[in-house]
Structure 1
Amino acid sequence: MIEMVIEQRRRSLGGGLEVGRVLPFAKRRMVGPFVFFDHMGPLDMAPGVPASVDVRPHPHIGLSTVTYLFSGEVMHRDSVGSQTPIRPHEVNWMTAGSGITHSERFEKARAQGDRLHGIQAWVALPQAEEETNPSFSHHEGADLPQWSDAGVHGTLIAGTAYGLSAGARTLSPLFYAHLDLEPGAVAEIPTGHTERAVYIAAGAVELDGARYEAGKMLVLSGDASSLRAAEASKVMVLGGEPLGERYLYWNFVSSSKERLAQAAADWRAGRMKLPDLDHDEFIPLPDEPAPPAPSFS
């Protein structure tokens, strides 16, 4: 059964780069620990794309960012010393914990052109782990178990589902998978978690007797366990256990508004280390009071 349908809203990240923002939403802030969900592209980037499209160094606390690409390449650099390109069907898992900064650059696109298409999600950390040490890990190959069955071609991105476990270290129970569906294929939606959702990245699916197009997240309730591809489709299935209330301000996530205010003050005062290999610019704190009461749209 479908509890709610959330349609992506277009949001500018500056420099001409737009995303489809899905979470947080006014009536649904989180699905399990997933507190943020952006659909990037598809976007054709011509050779010589300006540096203004890059996402300059910026900070995070209290979350893990999960970047997964269908196509394209992004160069990641962070303040714990990582410099790693992410390519299709790979995962960059960055745990901010007590604080990390990073940038995302389109260096391949600048050199030769590219087609960017993917998802960036944020997973909130359990309260006891919100101040854990920051870390970064890159996953590909055997870390991302794959399977094919009756027109369903799956990749497990994180957590445990379909009898498989992915390589990224998660700090709370969750699942996150990418399904490529041939027309007419029927795909299982993992059960056994309190909160679950399906996001249609391309194509269209049928669930509970209705058709849903790309750009929609279907938040599930009850025991809905399968969907059917109305056409060739890319679908993300995700969910997990709720962690309790979380507040968001800019790029910060916390169970404490006071901690958000401290993070904002630290960034404004230059107390958060920039990436060693990418420290000549940064995104300033938004010109607004910090932190405001939680507000989602």
Structure 2
Amino acid sequence: MTAIIQRIAPRQQDIGFVVRRLLPVRGMRSVGPFVFLDHMGPAYFVAAGTAGDVRQHPHIGLATVTYLNQGAMMHRDSLGTVQRIEPGAINLMVAGRGIVHSERVPADIRAAGVAVQGLQMWLALPQADEACAPAFYHYPAASLPQLESGLASVQLLIGEAFGLRSPVLTFAPTLYAAWQLQGGGSLALPQTVAERALYLTEGEVSVDGEVVRAGELVVLSPQASLLQAEACAQGVLFGGAALDGPRYLDWNFVASDRARLAQAREDWAAGRFAMVAGEDEFIPLPQ
């Protein structure tokens, strides 16, 4: 039986910098609670000005998960949070009933010409938590468990796997791990969650003998068990329990009820969301 259920190629978009969008796609709207995946950069930004900054915008019904490989970003939100995001850390922003945030390139990153690269993912909140109070959590890289095993290394970002447990808050069974393999290395894939996917950011690997190349997202079968690399490769493994019902996406909003999406659009257009203190730029509602 095949180890790979579906192969997904990225769709490139320019949002002020290049992103490769991998979820959602036709035929695969979610993997566990993950309903959105963007690979950002690597992007370089002009030394002066705000080109490439993501102006303040709203979310509901989800939690954003930001993980950088290079550079840094500055997060600000309507709760008053100001947090620099650096490589290896996890930023978890719980939108719940509504939050507004911006993501800007720090001045020192611009001045030094440092590339910014990383992944942003959205977790759909369980139906019971969709309208929870918004919150923000930051987990420095040093707080996230790591494993070195032969020619394989793993940083466990969310969940329990590989004999490790991440401190990152979860609302449902969730798995998110960053891994690296040296040439000749292998990694046994955890069977701790019902749905799993693998995104390869560098190199080439095989999953139970089936080849996966850089830039490809593959949704794994329940039987998929072993990751192997002939040369250096790295990527992420993610998934979790199946969602507790369908989810609908509209712009930056996620909900199990389409009426809630319509209300969020109306609220943003009417200026009813709390905004980020000290910022006056915002992304208008797309028509």
TM-score range for the pair, normalised by the shorter chain length: over 0.9
Q: What residue number does 1:91 align with?
A: 90
Aligned to 1:30: 30
Q: Say whether residues 1:221 and 2:221 are aligned partners.
A: yes
For residue 46 of structure 1, report the CA deviation from its aligned partner: 4.9
TM-score, scaled to structure 1: 0.92
Paired with 2:164 and 2:127, the residues of 1 have a C-alpha distance of: 27
The residue number in structure 2 matching 1:209 is 209
After TM superposition, give the deviation of residue 282 of structure 1 in Å.
0.2
Q: Distance in 2 between matches of 1:40 and 1:148?
A: 27
Helix, strand or coil at the partner of 2:284:
coil
The residue type paired with residue 251 of structure 2 is W
In structure 1, give the amino acid aligned to 2:92.
W
**Aligned partner (choices 10, 27, 35) of residue 8 of structure 1:** 10
Alpha-carbon separation, structure 1, partners of 2:5 and 2:24: 16
In structure 1, the partner of 2:273 is 272
The residue that corresponds to 1:233 in the other structure is 233
Is 1:75 aligned with 2:77? Answer: no
| Aligned-partner Cα distance in 1 for 2:242–2:211 | 28
Distance (Å, rounded) in 2 between the aligned partners of 1:12 and 1:43:
11
Number of residue pairs matched by the alignment = 283
- Distance in 1 (CA, whole Å) between partners of 2:230 and 2:204 is 5
Which residue is equivalent to 2:246?
245
SS of 1:276's partner is: coil
Flag structure 2 segments of 5+ consecutive residues without an equivalent.
Answer: none
Return 226-235 or 27-36, whichever deviates more: 226-235
Residue 231 (structure 1) shift: 2.1
Residue 131 in 1 paired to residue 131 in 2? yes
Q: What do the CA deviations read for 1:233-290 (whole angstroms, capped 9, x no partner)?
A: 111001101112100000000001000000000000000011113x211000002xxx
Question: Mean alpha-carbon deviation: is it higher for 243-252 or for 217-226?
Answer: 217-226
Distance in 2 (alpha carbons) for counterparts of 1:51 and 1:149: 43
Match of 1:164 in 2: 164
Identity of aligned residues (%): 46
CA distance in 2, matches of 1:166, 1:142: 11
Task: Give distance in 2, aligned partners of 1:205 and 1:230.
Answer: 7
Counterpart of 1:114 in structure 2 is 114
Aligned-pair CA distance for 1:77: 0.3
What code does the residue aligned with 1:186 have?
Answer: S
Shift of 1:141: 4.2
In structure 1, C-alpha distance between the alignment counterparts of 2:73 and 2:164, rounded to whole Å = 27
After TM superposition, give the deviation of residue 224 of structure 1 in Å.
0.9
Q: State whether residues 20 and 38 of structure 1, in contact with CA within 8 Å, keep that contact through their aligned partners in structure 2.
A: yes
Report the alpha carbon displacement of residue 222 of structure 1 after superposing the two structures with TM.
Answer: 2.4
Counterparts of 1:131 and 1:164, CA distance in 2 = 31
Extract unaligned runs of 5+ from structure 1: 288-297
Q: Secondary structure at the match of 1:51?
A: coil
8 Å contact 2:208–2:226 — kept in the other structure? Answer: no
CA distance in 1, matches of 2:232, 2:45: 24
* Displacement of 1:168: 1.4
Alignment TM-score, normalising by the size of structure 2: 0.95
Contact 1:252/1:260, CA 8 A, preserved across alignment: yes
The worse-fitting range, judged by mean Cα deviation, of 199-208 and 93-102 is: 199-208
Q: Which amino acid aligns with 1:78?
A: D
Tell me the CA shift for residue 163 of structure 1. Answer: 1.6
Deviation at 1:169, TM superposition (A): 0.8
Kindly indicate whether the alpha-carbon contact (under 8 Å) linking 1:74 and 1:87 is maintained by their aligned counterparts in 2.
yes
| Deviations 1:26-77 (CA, angstroms, capped at 9, x unpaired) | 11000000000111112234533x4131000000000000000111100000
Residues of 1 paired with 2:202 and 2:47: CA distance?
25
Cα distance in 1 between the residues matched to 2:38 and 2:183 = 25
* Residue pair 1:2, 1:208 contacting (<8 A) in 2 also: no
